[in-house]
Amino acid sequence: MPESREFANMFQVSVEEGLGNTLGVSVMQTLRNLFSYSFEIYAKKPLELHRELSRVFGFGAITLERMITKELFRRLGLDYSAQLDFETSVNLARRDMIASERGDN
């Protein structure tokens, strides 16, 4: 799926805000050091971020993913749906942003 640099940046900020607001900034910084990739890279690999969060938080990862997704959708002006899994939500947000950049909507 094509990647927008702007989307990757927005995703990174959404991860930082979602985790920082939920867990606190110091925990978010610790996770940044524990994870395999930078938060920006996970925009291309949302399933990898899911795996990393699940490894650390177990089923609690779902709540964190929802907070990240809510923040991302808020920033993009999209309606959030808790019915979708994390990877699907991120891919839909990316698709919407790329379509918007092209003027497809």
| All domains of the chain in start order, with CATH | 5-102 (1.10.1200.200)
16 has pLDDT over 60: yes
Structure tokens at 39: 């938060």
Exposure string (b/e) for 2-11, b if CB count within 10 Å is 16 or more? eeeeebbebb
Structure tokens at 44: 């291309």
- Do residues 49 and 42 lie in contact, with contact meaning Cβ atoms separated by under 8 Å? yes
DSSP state of 17: H
Amino acid symbol at 31 = L
- Average pLDDT on 86-103 reads 88
25 has pLDDT over 70: yes
What is the residue-averaged pLDDT of the chain?
Answer: 91
The pTM of this model reads: 0.89
Q: How confident is the model at residue 63 (pLDDT cuts 50, 70, 90)?
A: very high
Spatial distance between the Cα atoms of 88 and 96, rounded to a whole number of angstroms: 12
pLDDT of res. 1:
46
pLDDT of res. 80:
86
pLDDT of res. 31:
94
